[in-house]
A and B are shown apart, each in its own frame.
Chain A
């Protein structure tokens, strides 16, 4: 066990813990009100939102998984970059409308909006359940990021005793999320993001100079993986996968409840628009992070006997911790590991709060106890947030990692199916809610089936079109099926005199 790294890590982690509890008194509000606990009172300005969304969207799992993919698969792993390039124009154009209508009507979740826009509780329930089910494996995966750095520090061992640090970290997280709600991850995100930027700055300067320059780094990559494989006469090949992974992931990202929560906690629609221009700073970090996968190849960490145990236990997700340990003095490695570890806390907190908001507003209050008081609502949410986190912890400790990864893969395919109801709904009421529900079901079925044929190990489905194979992200293909079904059924239902309940008006969106 490396004491220097552990000490630095624990000090930073301890700082963040104190911050998490103290956050309850930041811009104080009545935590017995759900929007205070669950949306920080909708008071966050541009800078806080930038830290919160950045910390929320760029997760610990992102930091280990993206480089791991590039380390193993090469160029196709870089799809995370075009994905972030597509996301922000989309957010800029679409999400101010969502903020405005949510602010006008007090909506706290996407399902609240769908309920108000379409007046159909089943469509709203479908959106709520999709959000919940898609987010839960994602929380579990944050723990994986934390687990990898804890393992890299040599703390703990096998079995439940080995998982003790993880359990402690998570219990701390659960405690300050309970007391401070969204203010906790917002405050902690500042520390996390500062540490991340510091780490990446050091990485892009120090490591290439240690390895002999970027030319040497890329020279270590197998030529076949350096760029994408060109299409052949029989198949569009990697081009199809790369483009559809980027586009599909971009469309899905802000449909996730934790991204919506970040958006809704802002104090004006202009905060969203400004952040769409400012958040790309994190995308540059992500791009450089992806290149760390190649740096790990060039540094030969996989062949280094020091890291053999780590690679055996964690696979290619160990590439980044190994690279950091090999390239930096121990104290800085502690900082970098803390960045990743804390980087698990922020999204895990926001995701659990988002799940709590969804369950409380759109399942508990909507279906079980419509007459519950504000205090009941808030208390239910706090409890749900706790349960969701404990569930994720149990999942990661007891079940093989593969299950969490597979569920997350499916989650990405499912969450995109809420796009027609939510995103189209921001612009038009033309679609019939029953048709949207049918489209949602068709999309979920198609997408899940496609993933099933790939044994849930990959998400790029080789669609055969007149004998030519067009590999594409299953989420995107199933979304097309979803939209097609919703459109056809809407045409029919509208002709038969469709329902037109809608509590919003056009001006609400501006």
Chain B
């Protein structure tokens, strides 16, 4: 690396060396990987692929075929349905109250629930009972097996969709929310990292030694780049291992769009960090003491948090006008866009427009922030006001 990028690169390399090699960084990466992998693998081990079980209590008259018909009807709807016979209704009701059975079927005609009726289970029982009735009717009518088959033949219906398949729409929406939350956390975390790093240079007074060797904008660019790379690397390692775990565990709960959503989250992390890091860095340059670092980052975190909360609203109606606007305006775009992309097709022009707006805004902000940073970073002592920093730029 030579020329005008040499010094920012040296600054970035120092950030990388000091942070990525630190024990705290290694430990925090390991913990993140463990947590994410556990989130993927554990549900698969306990209950992933196992269908919920319902027990139907049988009282009185009951066809010998009913249990197998119930099981078959349950299978079609993703439930394991078992049966248990009771001598009389009273005994069945006791079991019902104890929760041993989900519903009581009396004489193949009456359903008794403990409190709330389970419509899905009700439909399963109804279809099984109906099959029993049909068998009986066929026998009574003396139909041949051909006639019976014709009667029972299910209609052949063709199937097309107006909208793309949404069979795991809710799972994809949930994935979008998870991605958005991770993005929010990562940006707040690494943004805070950067802010503390900038305050550190002021509080340790090393900044004047540095600025006798490089320009404030070079120092700022190097720090943003270095900490950004550390964050991206940590984020990518965690996301990559999550994908491996997903593949190896054969997780059936995660929608097919998981890898692409992870890719989008990393992509928007780069842009979002670009936007918010400039804000965090500017805030950090205004104070000289670590005790003030918390309060000075509040306005920035508030903007980020507003975007975060807005993204939740947008998740409910991802195709609404509010969500569209939110996914284009830079402060909210990264989080809202993730939620929208995860839920379905976002027209490509909206993504391009959103990215272009973001890049243009970041470029403009870097110019403003560079001047404020330069004006504030050598003023050690009390908190610098934005106006002073703007006017006081020396370099």
Partners in one complex: no
